[in-house]
């Protein structure tokens, strides 16, 4: 018997596997039992009604996909009345992902979503900050602090911060998020990319650029999880290219306390259940009685200094 429970700040999850925001919805109930998941994470909801970006919004790449969906949203009222209550059918914590255009809008939205049935707020601070010419909040430590401190003041729910891998110094952003009151970090959102159809000479995405996800990003994000886990005391949730239980193990060894699965669910809608089963099998085969013993258990013979870790980005 393997104990799959993990603690994420004040929350205890029955296992460390949950969906990545935007790749999961109530429709998945037809193909899996949400009761098996460590948590349910919703697609980011925004206070403003949004229709999303021009099509095509996704395209395949080698070992991954690009997306520029643009976060279509039916707003907070619809979310509170239709989406949150629907998840009450499962005994699984509901994590609500929130995006907004400004610090004030973000804090107000998180306050309005702090209602019964919501276990935690995941602030998607990888989205554009209109107070800073559209640069994502999590691109700068100062904007990260400003937005998370404003949210922290308006909700008593556990607050997770989802970081962007597009910043140059993810550890500095992680520290800013921790100092501003985040209870956990999600590392990370998608990596900015672009693909061109050489026959039409046009970008493959309607919005020209988009976010890369899937196995192609895994080594980059594993590295960021390793850096963040060494930089903060709060739990880190790894997210990027997880397809199997062993991929999840890799993230845990790098320092993650839990993982999120995104693109894999487009290939195989039941992928998260396979990841949970694979993780349990790995633990059983390696005589690991508690999955949380894997967190940060990577064996690094040549310990890198913080400075070297930072400079490694320049290589």
How many whole angstroms separate alpha carbon 284 and alpha carbon 217? 28
Q: Which CB, 214 or 235, lies closer to ligand FMN?
A: 214
33 contact partners, CB below 8 Å, separation of at least 6: 90, 273
Retrieve residue 36's tokens. 């098996």
23 touches ligand FMN by CB under 6 A: yes
Using alpha carbons only, what angle is made at residue 247 by residues 18 and 97, rounded to the nearest 5 degrees? 25
Of 108, 98, 123, 105, the residue nearest 44 (C-alpha): 98
Interface segment toward ligand FMN; rule CB under 6 A; list 19-27, 29-37, 82-90, 177-185: 19-27
Interface segment toward ligand FMN; rule CB under 6 A; list 100-108, 256-264, 268-276, 291-299: 256-264
Q: Which CB, 126 or 140, lies closer to ligand FMN?
A: 126
121 touches ligand FMN by CB under 6 A: no
Residue selected from 18, 69, 224, 234 as contacting ligand FMN according to rule CB under 6 A: 69
Interface segment toward ligand FMN; rule CB under 6 A; list 28-36, 131-139, 234-242, 274-282: 234-242
Residues 156-195: x where in contact with ligand FMN by CB under 6 A, - otherwise, as a string: ------x--------------------------xx-----
How many whole angstroms separate alpha carbon 177 and alpha carbon 185? 8
71 touches ligand FMN by CB under 6 A: yes
* Residue 281 DSSP SS3: helix
DSSP string of 72-99? -B-HHHHIIIIIHHHGGGSSS-EEEEE-
How many whole angstroms separate alpha carbon 130 and alpha carbon 142? 15
Sign of the alpha-carbon torsion through 214, 45, 173, 296: negative
Sign of the alpha-carbon torsion through 204, 208, 213, 217: positive
* Terminal C-alpha separation, the chain: 44
> Could you say which of 40, 110, 127, 239 is catalytic?
127
Residue selected from 21, 53, 164, 207 as contacting ligand FMN according to rule CB under 6 A: 21
Active site residue 127: yes
* Total residues at interface with ligand FMN (CB under 6 A): 26
CB of 218 to ligand FMN, least distance (A): 7
Q: Which CB, 155 or 244, lies closer to ligand FMN?
A: 244
> Which residues are at the interface with ligand FMN (CB under 6 A)?
20-23, 43-44, 58, 67, 69, 71, 97, 124, 162, 189-190, 213-214, 217, 239-242, 261-264
């Amino acid at each position: 018997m393997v104990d799959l429970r993990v603690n994420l700040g004040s929350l205890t999850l029955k296992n460390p596997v949950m969906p990545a925001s935007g790749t999961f919805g109530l429709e998945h109930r037809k193909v899996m039992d949400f009761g098996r998941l460590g948590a349910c994470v919703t697609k980011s909801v925004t206070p403003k009604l949004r229709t999303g970006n021009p099509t095509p919004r996704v395209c395949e790449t080698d070992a991954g996909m690009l997306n520029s969906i643009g976060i279509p949203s039916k707003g907070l009222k619809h979310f509170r009345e239709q989406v949150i209550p629907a998840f009450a059918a499962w005994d699984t914590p509901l994590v609500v992902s929130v995006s907004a255009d400004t610090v004030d809008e973000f804090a107000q939205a998180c306050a309005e979503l702090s209602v019964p049935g919501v276990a935690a707020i995941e602030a998607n601070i990888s989205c554009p900050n209109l107070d800073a010419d559209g640069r994502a909040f999590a691109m700068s430590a100062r904007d990260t602090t400003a937005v998370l401190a404003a949210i922290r003041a308006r909700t008593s729910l556990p607050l997770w911060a989802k970081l962007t891998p597009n910043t140059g110094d993810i550890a500095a952003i992680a520290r800013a998020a921790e100092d501003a009151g985040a209870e956990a970090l999600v590392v990370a959102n998608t990596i900015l990319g672009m693909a061109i159809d050489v026959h039409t000479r046009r970008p493959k995405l309607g919005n020209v650029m988009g976010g890369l996800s899937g196995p192609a990003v895994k080594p980059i994000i594993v590295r960021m999880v390793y850096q963040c886990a060494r930089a903060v005391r709060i739990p880190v949730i790894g997210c990027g290219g997880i397809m199997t239980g062993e991929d999840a193990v890799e993230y845990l060894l790098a320092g993650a306390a839990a993982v999120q699965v995104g693109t894999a669910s487009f290939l195989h809608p039941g992928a998260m259940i396979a990841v949970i089963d694979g993780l349990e099998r790995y633990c059983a085969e390696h005589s690991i009685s508690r999955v949380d013993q894997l967190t940060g258990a990577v064996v690094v013979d040549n310990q890198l200094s913080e400075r070297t870790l930072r400079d490694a980005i320049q290589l």
